[in-house]
Structure 1
Amino acid sequence: MTWQLRRAHEPDLAAIMHLETTIFENDAWSAPMMVRDLGDPGCYYLVAFRPDDPSNVEAYAGLLAPQGAAEGDIQTIAVAESARGGGLGRTLMQALINEARKRGSRLIFLEVRADNPGAQRLYERLGFLEVGVRRGYYQPDNVDAIVMRLNIPELESMLTTPAATVPS
């Protein structure tokens, strides 16, 4: 499957929030939190859609990595259930890692629910290592967060996936 990625903006908020509240139910971000990140120059959010249906956002992902900061943080990633299993999550993660590198980050962190082994496997395959646990981080479910870190590889050593394009 080929996916089209583009930078997310405030007009994408309704589509993003639909995915956010559908996928994350109990611990979804609020619309004001999401709008704040979409407008923050230190953040970089992408939306994904099929090339033949650009109005149907099927995934999004966000990065916090201010220009010149040595560290970045994957804020969120969500893929609609109907779009899972085809590499879209990996494609979004690689795009965020590449953006973090462009902004000067050498380390990137994320938290993942301890009860989400599929996401954990994806992050491990991308080179993330577990560095800690935040007990009860996800509320109100009281689920632990596994903290993971990636030493951002040099561009030449990154695996590339020709499954998506991101216009500038």
Structure 2
Amino acid sequence: MSTAAEAYAAAAQPGLRPMREADLEAVMAIERRAYPFPWTPGIFRDCLRAGYAMWVLECADGGLAGYGVLSIAADEAHVLNLCTAPGHEGRGLGRRMLQALLKIARGHGAQRVFLEVRPSNRRAIELYQRSGFNEIGRRPRYYPAVGGREDAIVMAMELLPD
């Protein structure tokens, strides 16, 4: 790839920045398109007020390409939500967001990170496995699903110092 093409590709990548309350309408639009059982605006607001690490991927036009929510307590962190906007998948944005959240967790002294994921979300499971997460258990009937409930796969990874 030429230097000009590399510069263009880098400039076209959405930038990471902290989520603001003003982002909630755009975040909810993504959440509703991405999930059949989305979080509510109140959940996002509560996470903002609680001071959770909440980041967005902002495109050059000001639109959002994704977001992530991370809670940190003592030496543990929990990825609560990680979403790439429909139409932006397959460009490494989920990996970028996850790596940013892991860096934040590490910076706050977390030694391990947990998350839950639906067994039906194969793309997310593959991302988490490639990033170093391992399945450590299941939460039966954790998620609402069409026609009933779906288990959650509980995954974790140990954070090593940079």
- The answer, yes or no, to whether TM exceeds 0.5 is yes
User: CA–CA distance in 2 between the matches of 1:80 and 1:9?
Assistant: 17
For the residue of structure 1 that corresponds to 2:90, the secondary structure is coil
User: CA–CA distance in 2 between the matches of 1:12 and 1:39?
Assistant: 14
Q: TM (normalized to structure 1)? A: 0.85
Q: Aligned-pair distance for 1:65?
A: 0.8
Quick check: 1:20–1:29 contact (8 Å CA) kept in 2?
yes
In the other structure, the counterpart of 1:132 is: 137
Quick check: 1:9–1:39 contact (8 Å CA) kept in 2?
no
The 5-angstrom pairing of residues 8-87 of structure 1 reads 8-25=19-36, 27-41=37-51, 43-50=52-59, 52-53=60-61, 55-66=62-73, 69-87=74-92
Larger radius of gyration: 2
Name structure 2 gaps, 5 residues minimum: 1-8
The 5-angstrom pairing of residues 93-132 of structure 1 reads 93-132=98-137
Name structure 1 gaps, 5 residues minimum: 156-168
**1:154 equivalent in alignment to 2:161:** yes
**1:4 equivalent in alignment to 2:9:** no
User: Any runs of at least 4 consecutive aligned residues in structure 1 with deviations exceeding 3 A, and if so which?
Assistant: none
Q: Aligned-pair distance for 1:40?
A: 1.5
For the residue of structure 2 that corresponds to 1:139, the secondary structure is strand
User: CA–CA distance in 2 between the matches of 1:126 and 1:140?
Assistant: 27
Identity of aligned residues (%): 34
Q: TM (normalized to structure 2)? A: 0.88
- How many aligned residue pairs are there? 149
- RMSD, aligned CA: 1.1
Relative contact order, higher structure (CA 8 A, sep 6+)? 1
Q: Aligned-pair distance for 1:140?
A: 3.9
Q: Aligned-pair distance for 1:49?
A: 2.0
Q: Aligned-pair distance for 1:3?
A: 2.2
